[in-house]
């Protein structure tokens, strides 16, 4: 590979140690609650992320061409490798290519600039989310709506596992039974309501009992 590609890896190591030194200084001064840890060395035969600047990667008919440099070509008779170009990204907008080793595989990360999207968000509306396994996401809003994202459906897709959803019930102080997961989502909203100035009038008993199941 090009020398500056390898140099980028050494630079990232130096930056990690610089960050450690800065955090340790804050910790010793009592300005940091946690104690920073020295960056770990790679395990034997461990792999590290490699970054290619956009100028080093060319778009050819076979895809994105990553050059391996003259030494690799001389030793292994291989001057480059190719990866497919994503169809939903403009090649000219890419600033950096990162090859990331994870779990025995290699992933390609593309760094590119996007224009910010302005969204019309009502800051008075909030959604509490309680995550689990069978009921993956139980959601309750302060607008009187609630729903469950079915975790068993996801299991059936990934593990060929499919069983009936079992919803737990929670009994309130006035002897009313509500969905336990939805009660957890409601507690999440309640804990931040005062800090964020949220109105909880829309959190009704109907939303806590009758939930829509989303597969």
Residue 181 banded pLDDT, cuts 50, 70, 90: low
Mean pLDDT on 131-150: 80
Q: What is the pLDDT of residue 82?
A: 93
pLDDT for 204 beyond 70: no
Residue 211 banded pLDDT, cuts 50, 70, 90: low
Going from the C-alpha of 2 to that of each of 42, 80, 82, 86, 108, the distances in angstroms are 22, 11, 16, 24, 18
Tens of pLDDT, residues 53-83: 888 899 999 999 998 888 888 888 888 999 9
| Percentage above 90 pLDDT, the chain | 16
Q: What is the pLDDT of residue 163?
A: 45
Extract the tokens encoding 21: 């030194």
Provide DSSP, 19-34.
HHHHHHHHHHTT--SS
CB burial string 91-105: b at 16+ within 10 A, e below: eeebeebebeeeeee
Going from the C-alpha of 1 to that of each of 35, 55, 78, the distances in angstroms are 37, 13, 11
Q: What is the pLDDT of residue 83?
A: 93
Tens of pLDDT, residues 150-177: 777 666 655 543 343 344 665 666 666 6
Q: What is the pLDDT of residue 162?
A: 36
Give residue for tokens 């829509």.
212
Q: Where are the beta strands (DSSP E) in 42-153?
A: 50-53, 57-60, 63-67, 80-83, 94-102, 105-112, 127-131, 135-141, 146-150
pLDDT for 11 beyond 60: yes
Tens of pLDDT, residues 84-112: 999 888 999 999 999 988 888 899 999 99
User: Measured in Å, how far apart are the chain's first and last C-alpha atoms?
Assistant: 47
| Percentage above 70 pLDDT, the chain | 77
pLDDT mean across residues, the chain: 78
Q: Which residues pair with 89 in a beta bridge?
A: none
pTM as predicted: 0.50
Mean pLDDT on 179-203: 71
């Amino acid at each position: 590979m090009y020398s500056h590609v390898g140099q980028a890896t050494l630079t990232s190591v130096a930056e990690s140690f610089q960050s450690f030194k800065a955090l340790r200084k804050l910790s010793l001064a009592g300005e940091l609650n946690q104690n920073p840890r020295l960056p770990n060395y790679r395990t034997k035969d461990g792999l590290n992320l490699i970054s290619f600047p956009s100028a080093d990667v060319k778009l050819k008919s076979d895809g994105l061409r990553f050059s391996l440099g003259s030494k690799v070509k001389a030793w292994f008779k291989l001057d480059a490798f190719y990866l497919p170009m994503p169809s939903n990204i403009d090649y000219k907008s890419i600033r950096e290519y990162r090859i990331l080793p994870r779990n025995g595989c290699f992933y390609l990360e593309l760094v590119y600039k996007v224009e910010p999207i302005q969204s019309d968000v009502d800051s008075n509306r909030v959604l509490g989310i309680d995550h689990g396994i069978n009921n993956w996401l139980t959601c309750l809003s302060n607008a009187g709506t609630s729903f469950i994202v079915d975790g068993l459906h996801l299991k059936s897709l990934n593990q060929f596992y499919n069983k009936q959803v079992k919803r737990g019930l929670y009994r309130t102080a006035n002897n009313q039974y509500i969905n336990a997961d939805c009660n957890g989502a409601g507690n999440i909203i309640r804990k931040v309501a005062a800090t964020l100035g949220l109105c909880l009038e829309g959190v009704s008993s109907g939303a806590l009992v009758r939930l829509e199941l989303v597969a």
